Structure 1
Amino acid sequence: MAASVEQLLSSLSGVEEPIEELRSLKTATLALPLSTLAERLPALRLEVIFRLMASPDREQVDRCVAILERFLQALEPIHIAQTYKEDLQRGLYHPDDSVKLLSISQVGRIVESSEAITEILNNQELLKQIIMCIGGDKISVAKEAIKSLSKISQSTSGLDVLFGSNLLASLKAVMAVSDVVRYRVYELVVEISSMSAESLSFCANSGILSQLLDELSGADVLVRVTCTEMITALAVTHHGRQYLAQQGIIDRMSNMILGADSDPFSGFYLPGLVKFFGNLAVMDSPQQICEHYPAFLQKVFDMAEGHETTMIGVAVDTLGIMGSTVEGKQVLQKTGPRFNNVFKRIGHHAKNAATELRVRCLDSITSLLSLPEDHHTEDLLAMSESWFSCLSNQPMDLFRSIATQPFPELHCSALKVFIAIANQSWAQKQMIESPGFIEYIVDRTVDPDKDSKDIKFELVKALVNSKTIAEVFGNQHYLRLRAYLRDGPYYVKAISTVAVEGAE
């Protein structure tokens, strides 16, 4: 088979209509294991395939691309760089996007190799053309170009080439193509900035990062939305957050929240701002963020108590994120009756809202009520119990009723609430005092699907593993739960039947 590949390659030379030969070669190459191809390929010459790929015939191009993808996959990056670099560069000018994708993806492979990357870094024209591909109509080509340039920027030498040469002018030139392309470049710069403090420094010195931050104050509300999303991505890293704070961006975003009430278009960008500060609180310190930017938490409460479904959902999600840490719970507890009122509203929505919002409310409640056993102090347990009582007049009945509904997403989300409180003694007392609760837990027949059975099993496991469960539940109920855990979530009790002679 390996010999036939060599023969088929040779047979392509001088053929005017090579479609059938290409079909046969494609079949042969796909039939060979990559390891076999890798052994044979260094001795083969692929220039004929690259030459035939320059054809305007779409079918011929497609077959050449498929063959080269397979061949090049079997070659080491250093061999591709030294042997086919010019062919790849020509592919970047090809009118067919599949050829551009092939060339850019191979460049991406090359720059991942420490011994091959210099072959690309020393070729400014090739890199310039990849930058120009960011401005193309085909989003897949632009994304692949961004991906390869991002890989190049993972080394200091790559950063030097991209931001310390004429390529920076090419980046800025392609930004002028359109708003869409400008934001593709911003996406690249944010991705590079997130890699390290050094890469952020290069991006900041280029002027592109500050241009992105300036757009936060622009007149176009949709631009502000996109800008907020990108700044949120930058804030994921510690050095990114430090830079944003130094540039006064976090203060500016806080002021945007303060001024939201007087801006009729704030509904577009306000969710993004709230998500930004919610993530910031979890990554740094909930107490610090809420003390420095009090407008954030007040706005979250306002949104949760409002009537706009989209805003309620964002507020509920944000409170769930904040309340995922003990410090975040304590910050919320310090607001006193205000948070209790908000939590009561969340309980109302969990019962009465549309399904999607109900699920989001249940997930948030789960996050807020969960408490690791190493934090079972008297104060925190009392806090958790008081929050639970805010949700409804009969919160145990509320979640029981949701858990028995035939909608899987609601059913499972309600069971997760029980899992969140299963290790807390006050909740165990309420469970044992709730008529029929233990019978419901150990009844496998009420769980309609695999996910429901798995969630119920996790609830039983959480109860059994609790330090206080035997004391609160008593031996009889505790042993029933242990038996359920031992038998597993899918156990079916065998039913024996006795045949009686003469019975119909």
Structure 2
Amino acid sequence: MDELTDILSKLSLSENKADELHKIKPALSNLSRETLTKDLSTVDLAILFDCLNTEQDKQIERSCEILEYVLQFLDPVLLLQRYGGILQRGLGHKDARVLLLILKQMQRFSQDDDLASLICTHPIYPVAVNLMAADLNISTQVFTFLSQMAETQAGLNIVLNKTTVANLQSVMEQNTTVKIRVLELAIKISQMSAEHLELVDSCGLLKPLLDLLNLDDILVRLSAIDLLTSLAYTQQGLRYLEFHSTIQEIETILKNCKSDPFAETLLPGLIKFFGNIGHLRPKHILSQHPAFMSTLLDITDLQDPTLRTIAFETIGYIGISLEGKQALGSIGNKFTNSIEKLRILIQDSPTEFRVRSINALSSLIKLDKENQTEEFLNLTESWYHAALGNKPMELLYNVLKQPFTELRLAIYDIFCNMARQAWGRREILRQPGLPEFLLNRESEREKAGMDAKFEIFKCLSDSGETEQIVGNDIGRQVHEYVKQGPYFVLPRSSVAFEGQG
């Protein structure tokens, strides 16, 4: 510690501070974390902060690096008491690195009731709040600081008190981009609990979001829908949107999409909004908002592969749950006819769309063992055949043999969901060449793929049906594969011997 103190004393007199700063790192490396935690409070760090008052890039960079390291060992209360004024002035620095350094220190105060109460009475607090209007890197750190503050009761009361709210509302008036940032913070806090949402709403921070839906600016409307989707991820958020008739308002936008010149831009966000509600409450979305499901199924007939993929992903997201399967099954032939279009996407579209489409089908046919009633097994099997046509396993097998890791992983996932169901096991094991291809460890070199293949064989082995379906030879190999584990490598001598044969 004496060496560090000596360097700092020389630093104040040095004309080339960047070089002098370079000597601090070795001095710090000689000190243990215990020593720094215990003794750093005896060192005056003001000179390090003073080194930030320059336009020399290298000096600022080195000062920030050193301060970021040493301040983690300084008690936050002491930091605020001794250097609070310096930190406050630092938030007016032209260099973003200095602001980021200080804001990250403030985040240390954010998740402790006593520390939160201490910082909110310091002049640095309103200065930090106003930086919600700064550039994205800075405002993101302020966002983190305030949202972490709101996680504790004391912090929540501070973030939503009249003074802070007034500051945030004033900041919102600067421009729409900043307004959306503040609204995003309001949504983040509202997601924490029903009490959080009630307090955010009571102080008026949610109403501006509802107003954005009616603006002509398409990008603003999209941002509003995206934020409302985030709110709808929670039960309290969903209740709030229902109470304020916001869901009905968004459904009206959806209904009018066909005549909207920005329909293709709006549709993905609208589908995501209703799809999320459909995931949480499938029966409700079908009965109370039929326009959504009608639009969703209509989109599967469009030529646009992007929109069609989004539609099928949404269908898979809704249908992954038992209630979702029941709701989709109740639609009948119109739904079955729609998922027939999946085959086209899986066969003839860019790799990304193929992967997403396969994953959507995998979600649709996923069925946990405890839910495998005759009704649901018939449902998943019928959707599998409807989506993939007359030769479904041949289609999936051909995709599996293509040299794209993402595609193989998607196929493994759907095989895994199939291997958990009797009809799926029959499909996999009776497809000519497929069991042998999967059993060949040389066919997969990626760890994720090895893990996925192992899971398929584990499901097949655990079922106890493999021998009945495909005979003792393959059955024995499946059990042996599982016994050997996912990463088994055949000894080189065995490989050579088999090659000679």
For structure 1, which segment, 445-454 or 114-123, has the greater mean C-alpha deviation from structure 2 after superposition? 445-454
SS in 1 for 2:162: coil
For structure 1, which segment, 432-441 or 217-226, has the greater mean C-alpha deviation from structure 2 after superposition? 432-441
| TM-superposed deviation, 1:74 | 0.8
Letter paired with 1:459: I
Distance 1:127 1:15 in 2: 34
Report what 1:8 is aligned to: 7
1:395 matched to 2:395? The reply is no
| TM-superposed deviation, 1:301 | 0.8
User: Per the alignment, do residues 426 and 159 of structure 1 end up closer, same or farther by CA in structure 2, a change over 3 Å counting?
Assistant: closer
User: Per the alignment, do residues 452 and 57 of structure 1 end up closer, same or farther by CA in structure 2, a change over 3 Å counting?
Assistant: closer
SS in 2 for 1:322: helix
Report what 2:364 is aligned to: 368
| 1:334-367 Cα deviation digits (max 9, x unpaired) | 1111111111110221112221111111111111
Contact 2:271 2:314 in 1 (8 A): yes
| 1:128-154 Cα deviation digits (max 9, x unpaired) | 211221212x32111111111222222
Report what 2:325 is aligned to: 329
SS in 2 for 1:217: coil
Report what 2:240 is aligned to: 243
SS in 2 for 1:267: helix
Report what 1:211 is aligned to: 208
| TM-superposed deviation, 1:447 | 3.0
| 1:100-156 Cα deviation digits (max 9, x unpaired) | 111111111023233322221112x322211221212x3211111111122222233
Q: How do residues 156-167 of structure 1 correspond to structure 2 at under 5 angstroms?
A: 156-167=153-164
1:94 matched to 2:89? The reply is no
Report what 2:124 is aligned to: 126
Q: How do residues 326-365 of structure 1 correspond to structure 2 at under 5 angstroms?
A: 326-365=322-361
- Count of residues paired in the alignment: 494
Distance 2:369 2:162 in 1: 56
| TM-superposed deviation, 1:81 | 2.3
Letter paired with 1:75: L
1:434 matched to 2:457? The reply is no
Report what 1:23 is aligned to: 22
Distance 2:56 2:431 in 1: 74
Report what 1:458 is aligned to: 455
| 1:181-207 Cα deviation digits (max 9, x unpaired) | 221111211112212222222321232
User: Per the alignment, do residues 382 and 171 of structure 1 end up closer, same or farther by CA in structure 2, a change over 3 Å counting?
Assistant: same
Identity of aligned residues (%): 31
| TM-superposed deviation, 1:409 | 1.9
Distance 1:377 1:469 in 2: 21
Report what 1:47 is aligned to: 46
Distance 1:455 1:155 in 2: 41
| 1:65-110 Cα deviation digits (max 9, x unpaired) | 2222122111122222222222211111122211111111111102
Distance 1:469 1:279 in 2: 38
| TM-superposed deviation, 1:210 | 0.5
| TM-superposed deviation, 1:463 | 0.9
Report what 2:303 is aligned to: 307
Report what 1:278 is aligned to: 275
Report what 1:61 is aligned to: 60
For structure 1, which segment, 227-236 or 406-415, has the greater mean C-alpha deviation from structure 2 after superposition? 406-415
User: Per the alignment, do residues 106 and 447 of structure 1 end up closer, same or farther by CA in structure 2, a change over 3 Å counting?
Assistant: closer
Distance 2:495 2:342 in 1: 48
| TM-superposed deviation, 1:321 | 0.6
| TM-superposed deviation, 1:448 | 5.2
Distance 1:11 1:445 in 2: 64
1:198 matched to 2:171? The reply is no
SS in 2 for 1:115: helix
Distance 1:59 1:65 in 2: 10
User: Per the alignment, do residues 446 and 19 of structure 1 end up closer, same or farther by CA in structure 2, a change over 3 Å counting?
Assistant: closer
Contact 2:132 2:182 in 1 (8 A): yes
Report what 2:314 is aligned to: 318
Report what 1:411 is aligned to: 408
Report what 1:185 is aligned to: 182
Letter paired with 2:220: V
For structure 1, which segment, 399-408 or 319-328, has the greater mean C-alpha deviation from structure 2 after superposition? 399-408
| TM-superposed deviation, 1:26 | 3.8
| TM-superposed deviation, 1:487 | 2.1
Letter paired with 1:452: G
Distance 1:232 1:180 in 2: 18
Contact 1:428 1:473 in 2 (8 A): no
Distance 1:33 1:180 in 2: 45
Structure 2: runs of 5 or more not aligned: none
Aligned counterpart in structure 1 of residue 440 of structure 2, from 427, 433, 443: 443
Letter paired with 1:341: N
Distance 2:448 2:411 in 1: 13
SS in 2 for 1:305: coil
Distance 1:401 1:462 in 2: 22
Distance 1:259 1:134 in 2: 35
User: Per the alignment, do residues 485 and 53 of structure 1 end up closer, same or farther by CA in structure 2, a change over 3 Å counting?
Assistant: same
Letter paired with 1:187: E
| 1:418-438 Cα deviation digits (max 9, x unpaired) | 211112222223334333333
Aligned counterpart in structure 2 of residue 140 of structure 1, from 137, 140, 158: 137
Letter paired with 1:368: L
Contact 1:162 1:168 in 2 (8 A): yes
| 1:444-490 Cα deviation digits (max 9, x unpaired) | 23335444333222211121122544443444432221011112334
SS in 2 for 1:154: coil
| TM-superposed deviation, 1:401 | 1.2
Letter paired with 1:148: F
SS in 1 for 2:494: coil
Report what 2:166 is aligned to: 169
- When the two chains are superposed, the root-mean-square deviation of aligned CA atoms in Å is 2.1
Contact 2:112 2:152 in 1 (8 A): no
Distance 1:86 1:194 in 2: 34
Contact 1:127 1:167 in 2 (8 A): no
| 1:340-395 Cα deviation digits (max 9, x unpaired) | 11111102211122211111111111111121111111111111221222121111
Distance 1:352 1:162 in 2: 52
Contact 1:29 1:67 in 2 (8 A): no
For structure 1, which segment, 433-442 or 97-106, has the greater mean C-alpha deviation from structure 2 after superposition? 433-442
User: Per the alignment, do residues 162 and 406 of structure 1 end up closer, same or farther by CA in structure 2, a change over 3 Å counting?
Assistant: closer
| TM-superposed deviation, 1:311 | 0.8
User: Per the alignment, do residues 112 and 449 of structure 1 end up closer, same or farther by CA in structure 2, a change over 3 Å counting?
Assistant: closer
For structure 1, which segment, 294-303 or 463-472, has the greater mean C-alpha deviation from structure 2 after superposition? 463-472
Distance 2:303 2:378 in 1: 31
Report what 1:377 is aligned to: 373
| TM-superposed deviation, 1:319 | 1.0
1:108 matched to 2:107? The reply is yes
User: Per the alignment, do residues 497 and 81 of structure 1 end up closer, same or farther by CA in structure 2, a change over 3 Å counting?
Assistant: closer
Structure 1: runs of 5 or more not aligned: 499-504
Aligned counterpart in structure 2 of residue 150 of structure 1, from 147, 152, 156: 147
| TM-superposed deviation, 1:52 | 3.0
1:84 matched to 2:80? The reply is no
Contact 2:312 2:342 in 1 (8 A): yes
Contact 1:396 1:431 in 2 (8 A): yes
| TM-superposed deviation, 1:224 | 0.8
Contact 1:228 1:269 in 2 (8 A): no
